[in-house]
């Protein structure tokens, strides 16, 4: 049958210097659909609990969805592995053109295991696979290595996913750069790649992706494009990218300032779209085939960093590398984020780590490095720390390279009180004290505190979700909403769609795209059920790694310190509210009071869990 799956996975063993192609089991497609689901199931079945994420046995998977590489709009790729930052499940998404190329080369995904004895890169040219020496490129940054590999292979159109020095030095929040300006950013997949002595994967594909019902699929795509065009949210992303969220977050008191001590920043507008447009942006850019074009390509035009070529400073980076550090010059923030991109380091975690270090220094818990004034507002201190961390320097660089959680544990003396993370993943730039549902989402997200596995803020602030009235500060009604959003997110992440596409494309249209592309009829309810299945599977994976109910919690700052400013001034998410939301959430999920899925829940979802028991 012609369908959008290639039905093949390429497995590369770097220890054995071998590779093989395996068929995608029919049951995997039926129960897990693609992307996140495939990765979650393969990781659950293929990785023994307790495996060190940097052990050669860890799996590093680049997954596509059934619609990746087709003309369906706003589709991406994802990396699935066990995170060195959190020690639990990790899925991290990337745009650009690397994922479609995997499909064009004939694979639904790449599974990389083992570790090379010396630095290598993988070269996949359709069905020809080579493991090549990376001797000449090891030590280069993520952009330079991309250029050098293309030069060596003699084709500038090859697509490359690779690491910079941070991944080589096993920084726990190193990222994988997927072409120039797209990254699998969160959770440290770049360190897993570095632990395998793998500098990059280069790929070229020449096979078309076929669909089951070409006419029906074309109609579904046209519908999706129309829905995107009609959406005011999508129009907003097109105009301002995520930078448009800076002013919104500031007005609602959710913007992190000085390591989340405050929820507003008096100079926030400098970091928002107007400031970026004035100093950086030259034009719009997009991932392959995406009509939203949320990206803004440009260069710093004035001042000390003049000439640095830059992409948009995304909201998360503006928040965590800007307001969170009390830095208001958007040109400096763009420079710091670009440094992170080149070194191959997640700018969100990096900003959070630096904010933590600035506060720790102000509290006298760590010293300033010689010649540096480690305090909020210091661009020099931020740059110094980025370089020290990425380059694996002794002292502060090494201390901070394992993330906020690890640094706080090693410093001790109360540093945990201002270490802002959940399960080891540094928090996103949305302080949750004025929106308790966002807090619950952080508490329960499968990869650690994250805003991308259910984002209830819009519903909370408008006070409405599916006909129910919501009070953003109350714990009431949050569990059912968060569980539902998480199921939908996980279910549609099997398509490996971009989150922003969901602001226009409705569930029925995603179902139509899937059905016409694969020949398997699916309904929006089936996305929800698949999402719930995946969420329970990743829960089992995390429980087996020791992430029990006690870890479903929030950073102490959000629990113990009332917000000092903004519309929700005086509010915090109390232990009582956390406990209430958590137990409600467990009940709705069909888990026991310790957050363990009940047998009947797993049976209903047809989850085999022999490994867990
Ligand atoms: S909306 Fe932006 S990030 Fe998402 S696929 Fe389109 S261009 Fe890429």
CATH number (domain holding residue 131): 3.60.9.10
pLDDT in tens, 354-365: 999 999 999 999
Atom of ligand 1 nearest to the CA of 74: 5
Return the residue whose CA atom lies nearest to atom 5 of ligand 1: 74
Q: Look over the chain and give the mean of its residue pLDDT values, rounded to a whole number.
A: 96
CATH number at 341 reads 1.10.569.10
Query: What is the CA(463)–ligand 1 centre distance, in A?
Result: 28
Atom of ligand 1 nearest to the CA of 498: 4
Per-residue confidence band for 290, with pLDDT thresholds at 50, 70 and 90: very high
Residues in the chain: 613
At 610 the pLDDT is 55
20: β partners: 11
First-last CA distance in the chain: 38
* CA–centroid distance, residue 294 to ligand 1 (Å): 6
Question: Of 304, 560, 294, 242, nearest to 429 (Cα)?
Answer: 242
Q: Can you tell me whether residue 505 is helix, strand or coil?
A: coil
Q: Does 316 share its domain with 443?
A: no
Is 159 a domain residue? yes
Q: Give the pLDDT band of residue 180 (cuts 50, 70, 90).
A: confident
Are residues 142 and 247 located together in one domain of the fold?
no
Whose Cα sits closest to atom 4 in ligand 1? 498
Task: Give the model confidence (pLDDT) of 16-56 as tens digits.
Answer: 999 999 999 999 999 999 999 999 999 999 999 999 999 99
Q: Given ligand 1 and candidates 294, 493, 504, which is best to mutate, with the most ligand atoms within 8 Å of its CB?
A: 294
| % of the chain surpassing 90 pLDDT | 96
How far apart CA 217 and CA 185 sit, in angstroms, is 31
Q: Which residues line ligand 1 (CB under 6 A)?
A: 74, 76, 95, 237, 286-287, 290, 292-295, 498, 500
Spatial separation of the C-alpha atoms in residues 354 and 379, rounded to whole Å: 11
pLDDT confidence of residue 612: 41
Pair 167, 253 in one domain: no
Last residue of a domain, one of 356, 381, 413: 413
- Ligand 1 atom with least separation from CA of 241: 2
Residue 68's nearest CA partner among 25, 162, 157, 4 is: 4
Whether 265 is in a domain gets the answer: yes
Give, using CA atoms, the residue closest to atom 8 of ligand 1: 287
Chain segment 236-289, per-residue pLDDT in tens: 999 999 999 999 999 999 999 999 999 999 999 999 999 999 999 999 989 988
The pLDDT tens digits of the residues spanning 422-453 come to 999 999 999 999 999 999 999 999 999 999 99
**Ligand 1 test: best mutation among 95, 98, 228, 289, most atoms within 8 Å of CB?**
95
CA–centroid distance, 285 to ligand 1, in Å, is 9
Report the distance separating Cα 510 and Cα 497, nearest Å.
Answer: 9
pLDDT for 609 equals 65
Average pLDDT over residues 463-487: 96
The answer to whether residues 263 and 353 belong to one domain is yes
Atom index in ligand 1 nearest the CA of residue 294 equals 2
- pLDDT category of residue 611 using cuts at 50, 70 and 90: very low
Q: Would you say residue 492 lies in a domain?
A: yes
**CATH, residue 588:** 1.10.599.10
Domain that holds residue 350: 243-413
473/517 same-domain check: yes
Beta 183-184 vs 176-178: how paired, if at all? antiparallel
Q: Count the neighbouring beta carbons within 10 Å of the beta carbon of residue 434.
A: 25
What pLDDT shows up at residue 192?
98
Q: What is the dihedral of CA 352, 358, 363, 366, to 10 degrees?
A: 100
What is the signed CA dihedral for 150, 156, 161, 164, rounded to 10 degrees? 50
Co-location of 304 and 339 in the same domain:
yes
- Domain ends where: 176, 204, 232? 204
Number of domains in the chain: 3
- pLDDT number for residue 413: 97
Given 174, 204, 234, which residue is the final one in a domain? Answer: 204
Task: Examine the domain organization and report whether 285 and 340 are in the same domain.
Answer: yes
Check whether 613 has a pLDDT greater than 60. no
Q: How close is the Cα of 441 to the center of ligand 1, in Å?
A: 23
Tell whether 363 and 462 lie within a shared domain: no
User: To test the ligand 1 pocket, which listed residue (180, 295, 503, 505) has its Cβ within 8 A of the most ligand atoms?
Assistant: 295
- Please report the pLDDT score of residue 470 as a whole number: 94
Q: What is the pLDDT of residue 268?
A: 98
215 found inside a domain: no
209 band by pLDDT with thresholds 50, 70 and 90: very high
**Residue 222 located in a structural domain:** no
Examine residue 425 and state whether it is found in any structural domain, yes or no.
Answer: no
The answer on 388 and 458 residing in a single domain is no
Q: Which atom of ligand 1 is nearest to the CA of 291?
A: 6
Same domain, 394 and 520: no
Together in a domain, 254 and 385: yes
* Helix, strand or coil, per DSSP, at residue 424: coil
Please state, in angstroms and rounded to a whole number, the distance separating the CA atoms of residues 172 and 192. 9
Considering Cα of 553, then 556, then 557, then 558, what sign does the dihedral take?
positive
Residue nearest ligand 1's atom 7 by CA? 286
pLDDT bracket for residue 335 (50, 70, 90): very high
């Amino acid at each position: 049958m012609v369908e959008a799956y290639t039905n093949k996975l390429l497995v590369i063993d770097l220890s054995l210097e071998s590779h093989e192609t395996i068929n995608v089991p029919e049951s995997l497609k039926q129960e897990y659909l693609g992307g996140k689901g495939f990765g979650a199931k393969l990781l659950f079945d293929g990785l023994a609990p307790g495996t060190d994420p940097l052990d050669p046995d860890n799996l590093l998977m680049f997954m596509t969805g059934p619609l990746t590489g087709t003309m369906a709009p706003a589709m991406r790729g994802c990396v699935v592995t066990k995170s060195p930052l959190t020690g639990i499940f990790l899925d991290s998404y990337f745009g650009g053109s690397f994922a479609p190329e995997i499909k064009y080369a004939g694979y639904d995904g790449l599974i990389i295991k083992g570790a090379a004895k010396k630095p290598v890169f993988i070269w996949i040219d359709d069905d020809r696979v080579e493991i090549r020496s990376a001797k000449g490129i090891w030590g280069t940054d993520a952009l330079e290595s991309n250029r050098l590999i293309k030069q060596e292979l003699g084709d500038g159109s090859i697509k490359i996913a690779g690491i910079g020095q941070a991944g080589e030095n096993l920084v726990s929040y190193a990222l994988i750069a997927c072409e120039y300006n797209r990254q699998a950013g969160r959770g440290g997949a770049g360190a897993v790649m570095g632990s395998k002595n793998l500098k990059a994967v280069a790929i070229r594909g020449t096979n078309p992706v076929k669909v089951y019902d070409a006419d029906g699929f074309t109609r579904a795509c046209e519908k999706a494009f129309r829905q995107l065009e009609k959406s005011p949210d999508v129009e907003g992303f097109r105009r301002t990218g995520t930078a448009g969220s800076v002013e919104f977050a500031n007005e609602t008191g959710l913007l992190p300032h000085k390591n989340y001590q405050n929820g507003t920043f008096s100079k926030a507008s400098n970091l928002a779209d107007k400031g970026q447009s004035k100093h950086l942006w030259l034009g719009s850019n997009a991932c392959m085939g995406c009509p939203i074009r949320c990206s803004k390509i440009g260069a710093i035009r004035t001042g000390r960093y003049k000439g640095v070529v830059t992409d948009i400073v995304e909201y998360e980076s503006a928040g965590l590398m800007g307001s969170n550090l009390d830095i208001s010059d958007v040109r400096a923030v763009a420079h710091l984020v670009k440094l992170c991109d080149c070194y191959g380091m997640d700018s969100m975690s990096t900003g959070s780590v630096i904010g933590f270090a600035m506060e720790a220094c102000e509290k006298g818990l760590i010293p300033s490095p010689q010649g540096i004034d480690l305090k909020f507002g210091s661009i020099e201190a931020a740059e110094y720390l980025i370089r020290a961390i990425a380059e694996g320097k002794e002292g502060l660089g090494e201390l901070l390279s394992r993330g906020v959680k690890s640094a706080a544990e090693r410093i001790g003396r109360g540093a945990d009180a201002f270490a802002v993370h959940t399960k080891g993943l540094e928090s996103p730039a949305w302080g949750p004290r004025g929106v308790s549902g966002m807090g619950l989402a952080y508490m329960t997200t499968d990869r650690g505190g994250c805003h991308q596995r259910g984002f209830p803020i819009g519903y909370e602030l408008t006070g409405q979700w599916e006909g129910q009235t919501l009070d953003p500060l109350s714990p009431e009604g949050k569990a059912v909403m968060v569980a539902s959003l998480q199921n939908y997110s996980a279910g549609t992440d099997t398509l490996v769609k971009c989150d922003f596409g969901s602001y226009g494309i409705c569930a029925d249209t995603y179902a139509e795209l899937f059905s016409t592309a694969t020949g398997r009829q699916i309904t929006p309810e089936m996305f929800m059920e698949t999402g719930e299945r995946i969420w329970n599977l990743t829960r089992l994976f995390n429980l087996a790694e020791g992430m029990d109910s006690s870890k479903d919690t929030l950073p102490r700052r959000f629990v113990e310190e009332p917000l000092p400013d903004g519309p929700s001034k005086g509010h915090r998410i109390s232990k009582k509210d956390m406990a209430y939301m958590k137990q409600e959430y467990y009940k709705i999920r069909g888990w026991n009071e310790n957050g363990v899925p009940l047998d009947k829940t797993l049976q209903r979802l047809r989850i085999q869990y022999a490994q867990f028991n």
